[in-house]
Amino acid sequence: MKADLSVRIGSLVLKNPIIPASGCFGYGLEYAEVVDLASLGAIAVKGLFLTEREGHPPPRIVETPSGMLNAIGLQGIGVHRFVREKMPELRRLGAVVIVNICGSAISEYVELARILSDVEGVAALELNISCPNIKEGGIQFGCDLASTAAVVSAVRKVTRLPVIPKLTPNVTSVSSFAKAAEEAGADAVSLVNTFLAMAIDVETRRPRLSNVMGGLSGPAIRPIAVRMVYDCARAVRIPVIGMGGITSARDALEFMIAGATAVQVGTACFVDPFIWTKLLAGIEDYLERHGIERVADVVGTLQTDRA
């Protein structure tokens, strides 16, 4: 018997727990030739503002040991063009679309949520209150408990879609932010966004990114991300979507055992755009080897007692 890979995020049932992470999969259509978008649990599309944004000048990425820094600066086409130009094709391809939204004021998140709530095919809203690369990218909301709660409850009031604030790891206690989000009405939380970081060219004594600092992602951050997901999953009752450095089914399962109901995969799909089938096959294989019927039964099964 094939294992049941479905998981539930609030009112949303995903056919499996694997989601390409926002900002790492374009608007999904870039990958439509190499992956059946309908075969994924959902796709988290690139962060959208109300209007088009140009982003930072290159160089926008730099590699570090087992990771990368990015300072893309949320280049994007804006919500209206997204709805007009991308959603019809995403619907046709059967993608379950989580739209990642960003704003510089609560009113902008609210406006984005209003617009997207009426768009057929949008399955959930991920509130990007955690982009470290731009001042107005919501990180000021994500680094302050009261502001996190205020954004979430303001969006909650104007939409029936699941609301998933995306938390920043650049705070002392991520779990208190998860709690604040839950109390404000979030249906789930996702974490982690990238770690504020920097790299310097010692020959020229200049920063390696045009924006000086950037966000660290990739395998280098995985152990910290796993710890943060574990902390948050114990602190809240709503589902946690975990991410940070996942490159294999084993990594994905590590997050799920720590308490993640679903996972997002970002940097690894730059290296391997065909990774999705390998992740799903690896999870199925694991479930079969362990005689587990439903992947949901893996969530939060970490054994911490000493045998």
Partner 1 sequence: MAAPVDVHAEVLANTRLSADYNVLVLAAPAIAGTARAGQFVMIRTADGTDPLLRRPFSVFEVLRRADATPYAISILCKRVGVGTSRLFEAAAGDRLDCLGPLGKPFTTVGPPSEAWMVAGGVGLAPFATLADELRSAGTRIRLFYGGRSHTDLFYLEWFESRGVALELATEDGSRGSHGRVTVPLERALSAQPASAGLTLYACGPEPMLKAVADLARRYGRPSQLSTERIMGCGMGGCYSCVVRVRDDEGRAHFVRSCLNGPVFNGDDVVWE
Exactly one of 237, 271, 305, 306 binds partner 1 (CB under 8 A); that residue is 271
- The partner in contact with residue 261, picked from ligand FMN, partner 1, none with C-beta cut-offs of 5 to 8 angstroms by kind, is none
Burial class (CB in 10 A: 0-12, 13-18, 19+), 126: buried
274 binds partner 1 (CB under 8 A): yes
Question: Total residues contacting partner 1 (rule CB under 8 A)?
Answer: 35
17 binds ligand FMN (CB under 6 A): no
Exactly one of 30, 85, 288, 293 binds partner 1 (CB under 8 A); that residue is 30
Structural contact between residues 11 and 301, judged by C-beta atoms closer than 8 angstroms: no
Place of tokens 């609030």: 10
175 binds ligand FMN (CB under 6 A): no
Rounded to the nearest 10°, the torsion over CA 238, 127, 225, 56 is 180
Token pair of 112, please? Answer: 């984005």
DSSP secondary structure of 248-288:
SHHHHHHHHHHTEEEEEE-HHHHH-TTHHHHHHHHHHHHHH
- The partner in contact with residue 265, picked from partner 1, ligand FMN, none with C-beta cut-offs of 5 to 8 angstroms by kind, is ligand FMN
The number of C-alpha atoms within 13 Å of 302 and in the hemisphere containing its C-beta is: 17
Buried-exposed string 40-61: b where 16+ CB fall within 10 A, e elsewhere: bbbbbbbbbbbeebeebeeebb
Provide the mask over 61-90, with x wherever binding to ligand FMN is found by CB under 6 A and - wherever it is not: ---------x-x-x----------------
Sheet (strand 213-217) strand order: 61-64, 67-70, 213-217, 195-198
- The partner in contact with residue 26, picked from ligand FMN, partner 1, none with C-beta cut-offs of 5 to 8 angstroms by kind, is partner 1
Alpha-helix residue ranges (DSSP H) falling in 4-137: 78-81, 87-92, 106-117
Q: How far is the CB of 307 from ligand FMN (least distance, A)?
A: 32
Exactly one of 33, 120, 203, 305 binds partner 1 (CB under 8 A); that residue is 33
The kind and range of the H/E element at 216 are strand 213-217
Active site residue 131: yes
Residue nearest to ligand FMN (CB): 23
- The partner in contact with residue 189, picked from partner 1, ligand FMN, none with C-beta cut-offs of 5 to 8 angstroms by kind, is none
Token pair of 34, please? Answer: 């190499």
Which of these is catalytic: 24, 102, 131, 269? 131
Where along the sequence are the contacts to partner 1 (CB under 8 A)? 23-26, 30-31, 33-34, 46, 54-55, 57-63, 65-68, 70, 72, 75, 218-219, 247, 267, 269-274
Where along the sequence are the contacts to ligand FMN (CB under 6 A)? 21-24, 46-47, 70, 72, 74, 100, 128, 131, 166, 193-194, 217-218, 221, 243-246, 265-268
| Residues carrying an active site annotation | 131
